[in-house]
Amino acid sequence: MKRLVNPSVTRQVIDQFGFHFKKQLGQNFLIDANILGKIVEAAELTEVDGAIEIGPGIGTLTQALAERAGKVVAIEKDDRLIPILSDTLNEYANVSVHHGDVLEIDLPELIAAYLGDRRVSVVANLPYYVTTPILMKLLEERIPLHAIVVMVQKEVAERMAAAPGGKEYGALTIAVQYYSEPHIVCRVPRTAFMPQPNVESIVIQLKLRKKPAVDVISEALFFQVVKASFAQRRKTILNNLQNNFPVSGGRETVLHVLREADIDPMRRGETLSLQEFARLSDQFALLEQGS
């Protein structure tokens, strides 16, 4: 069994295959055994569970997942890494490598093909440039997942776990917390990677909710209101909705809706809770239904 958390072993494998990191793919391989262990623990896997790993690199985390889960599917976009993974994972009969872009893959179909009715968690060291699109795909498609455990840029993790009122709180916060309960697992120093990134990282666990955090009349309208409310952070909720949310009647209509939702029009979007955004979007929905 080839364990890759030792930096010298990782370098040996990279040199053996003549692999060169592509900056545009955001490739940074984990070489810290302590962080690796925390990621696996946060995934809460048992021998009957399944795991999907996005971006396995040379298989460092994949090996650790394979020793805990019943079945692991590793999705790798870079075709240069496929022969490396075939070598580093050849002793793990419970691992399948799927070559493709996770943003283009039919994940329910992949789960059905590889994992069946196992409880499934997603684990990933995500390239920072594509973190949000991947997370939103996992959340919005309502894939039946137990948890998502990802390594992301420090500022992104702080936004996902933020509470109302702070500068980190925004549209991403609302989206993530609508579908899941975020918990920061640990901070990750730059020295935990090869090559070292220019930013600090955080491992965050997202426990998927059985149903969204709030009930709303229209989910699409809810997110439309949220997006408009954060369009210009320094402006009030009244100004943001007036300027960025399409509603007949303009300012007077927005004022009426805010009053009905019991929200001060002079507040900023970053101070509103999920429950208040739900009340606000429902008032707009009722207005549409009545028109």
d(CA 37, CA 184): 15
Question: What is the structure's pLDDT at 46?
Answer: 96
Binding residues for S-adenosyl-L-methionine: 28, 30, 55, 76, 101, 125
Q: At CA 216, angle to CA 211 and CA 220, rounded to 5? A: 100
Domain contains 261: yes
Binding residues: 28, 30, 55, 76, 101, 125
Give the CATH number for residue 246.
Answer: 1.10.8.100
DSSP per-residue letters across 225-267: HHHHHTSSTTSBHHHHHHHHS--TTHHHHHHHHHHHTT--TTS
Q: Can you give the residue range of the structural domain that contains 286?
A: 219-290
**Same domain flag for 188 and 234:** no
Q: How many CB atoms lie within 10 A of CB 198?
A: 9
C-alpha to C-alpha distances, 17 to 20, 81, 91, nearest whole angstrom: 9, 9, 18
**Same domain flag for 135 and 112:** yes
d(CA 102, CA 77): 8
Radius of gyration of the chain (CA): 22
How does pLDDT run along the chain (291 residues), one tens digit per residue? 456 766 778 888 889 888 887 766 677 888 899 999 999 999 999 999 999 999 999 999 999 999 999 999 999 999 999 999 999 999 999 999 999 999 999 999 999 999 999 999 999 988 788 899 999 999 998 888 999 999 999 999 999 999 999 999 999 999 999 999 999 999 999 999 988 888 899 999 999 999 999 999 999 999 999 999 999 989 999 999 999 998 887 899 999 999 999 999 999 999 999 999 999 999 999 988 875
Q: Which of 152, 180, 208 is the C-terminal boundary of a domain? A: 208
Structure tokens at 219: 């989910």
Do 244 and 228 meet the contact criterion of CB atoms below 8 Å apart?
yes
Question: What is the structure's pLDDT at 175?
Answer: 96
Question: What is the structure's pLDDT at 13?
Answer: 87
- Residue type at 84? I
Please count the structural domains in the chain. Answer: 2
Question: What is the structure's pLDDT at 210?
Answer: 93
Question: What is the structure's pLDDT at 78?
Answer: 93
Q: Which of 145, 178, 208 is the C-terminal boundary of a domain? A: 208
Which pTM does this prediction carry?
A: 0.91
Question: What is the structure's pLDDT at 25?
Answer: 66
Give the CATH number for residue 43.
Answer: 3.40.50.150
Domain contains 204: yes
**Same domain flag for 58 and 185:** yes
- Residue type at 80? R
Question: What is the structure's pLDDT at 24?
Answer: 67
